[in-house]
Amino acid sequence: MRRAPFARRLAALLAAALLAAFGLGGCQGSKGQETSAPPEKASSGIATKLSGPVEITFWHAMTGKHEEALRTIAENFTKEHPDIRIKLEAQGNYGDLQQKLTAAAKSHTLPVMAQVIETWVTDFRQNGLVADLTPYIENPEIGWNKQELDDIVEVFRKANQWDGKYYSLPFSKSTQILYYNTDYFQELGLQPPKTWDELKEAAKKLTGEKNGRRVIGMGFENSVGWQFHQWVKQAGGRYVDEATGEVLFDSPEGREALGFLVGLFQEEVARLAGEDQYVSNPFGRGDVGMYIGSSAGIPFVAKAAEGNIHWAAAPVPAGEEKAVAFAGNAVAVFDSAKPEEKLAAWLFIKYLLNTDNTVFWAKSTGYLPIRYSALETKEWQDYVAQNPAYGVGTRQFDYGFFDPRIPGFDAALKEIDKEIQAALLGQKSADAALRDAARAAQAAIDRAKERAK
């Protein structure tokens, strides 16, 4: 559950199995799910009123305090809607969740709704598994008006649209931010870097012996290859065309991006997390001066740094262009659910994503509020005033982007990550790694496209 790259790493191992299972299973929806009484329907064909109590299952990948917060929201919802019971069912991490959804699709036992990653939804949609939420959103009785829909942050809203329709809606969203050691920065008279050049200069100055400790200026997650699209876009390049599936990063801009990262490692002013798995641990010990990581990692950074260092966060430095990746997950309703179950799920989604609850969720978990109106609430503003790191991600909304939602993209990311790491560790030249990454990624996407036919 912790962070998107780890979730993606697990999920990628299952992507091929997902497609294969859909192909074998037929995926025509749950068996034996007949409505006991005809629901009242609007002109759009959806149920808009419940005829009695409804229980809906919600599969998720939340644990610890995140799961407690989700349970609180579900319990509060039931107080307002006593006819609807939300049955929360934890399925492990995102890899486990995807695997279980795959198995459930094959055996026609999908839950009513689940947490999903948008790249999964493309596969679900192609196989007729997820419900189109657009009729619910647009319904004048139970939906959102235009102002309410447009209140969802644009980059999140667009990430959940396919051909103008919504097959999922954003829930737990995160982005990349720069964490930095304020003790070291003050000692050296540094300001948070805003450009690649400033990042490199700060990494050089931060690297060295400090109080008997070997400090490396810049840290990267082991999964840095999963964020390579951000560096390519910042160099002014294109990554993968979502419309055609064409891999585009083996380009001058791609070489510039990888060359910049490789240069930091060759000058020995950057390192990966290594055995620590996440940079928050060496950063919290004072072994790393700064690093770029997920905003959802704020609680983990705070825990690692407590009693060791002082720290702060800032927007990700820009290259030729400003560009920052937004990740995280969404919620979807499966088409195999009964009409009244879909209605109950929609009403819960509306509640889950309202302004008050997105503020509560962001404060409880470290994820970002998904509504613009949430940023204007006194509760959120007071919280950010006391916890400034939580407000950094939202300052990057205007230049955020999301992954191409194409079959095979998770498998492609796995191949890219392997090659980028080989280049950073000096096991392969940057040009060779970029070429091999592009070829392997294209092959993964092409295989998935063939399976999807």
- Transcribe 423-434 into DSSP letters: HHTTSS-HHHHH
Tokens of 446: 């092409």
AA identity, residue 239: Y
Residue in 154, 156, 210, 202 with CA at minimum distance from that of residue 178: 202
For domain 175-326+403-452, give its CATH number from 3.20.20.70, 3.40.190.10, 3.20.190.10, 1.10.357.10: 3.40.190.10
Convert the pLDDT of each residue in 6-65 to its tens digit: 444 444 444 444 444 444 333 333 333 333 333 444 446 899 999 999 999 999 999 888
CA distance 412 to 94: 18
To 10 degrees, the CA torsion angle through 370, 372, 375, 379? Answer: -80
pLDDT digits (tens, 9 = 90+) for 209-264: 988 899 999 999 998 998 999 999 999 999 999 999 999 999 999 999 999 999 99
Confirm whether 54-174+327-398 and 175-326+403-452 share one CATH topology.
yes
Asked if the model's pLDDT at residue 333 lies above 70, the reply is yes
pLDDT at residue 1 is higher than 70: no
Find the length of the chain: 453
Burial category of 218 from C-beta neighbours within 10 Å (exposed 0-12, middle 13-18, buried 19 and up): buried
What are the C-alpha distances in Å from 166 to residues 113, 130, 158, 174?
14, 10, 9, 20
Ranges of each domain in the chain: 54-174+327-398, 175-326+403-452
Average pLDDT over residues 298-324: 95
Query: What was the pLDDT predicted at 65?
Result: 86
pLDDT at 19: 43
pLDDT digits (tens, 9 = 90+) for 183-216: 999 999 999 999 999 999 999 999 999 888 999 9
- What was the pLDDT predicted at 271? 97
The pLDDT, as a whole number, for residue 451 is 79
Helix (H, G, I), strand (E, B) or coil at 171: strand
Q: Is the pLDDT of residue 94 over 90?
A: no
The reported pLDDT for the residue numbered 91 is: 97
Topology of the domain comprising 54-174+327-398? D-Maltodextrin-Binding Protein; domain 2 (3.40.190)
- pLDDT, one tens digit per residue, over 336-373 is 999 999 999 999 999 999 999 999 999 998 899 999 99
pLDDT surpasses 80 at 394: yes
| 204: helix, strand or coil | helix
pLDDT at res. 44:
63
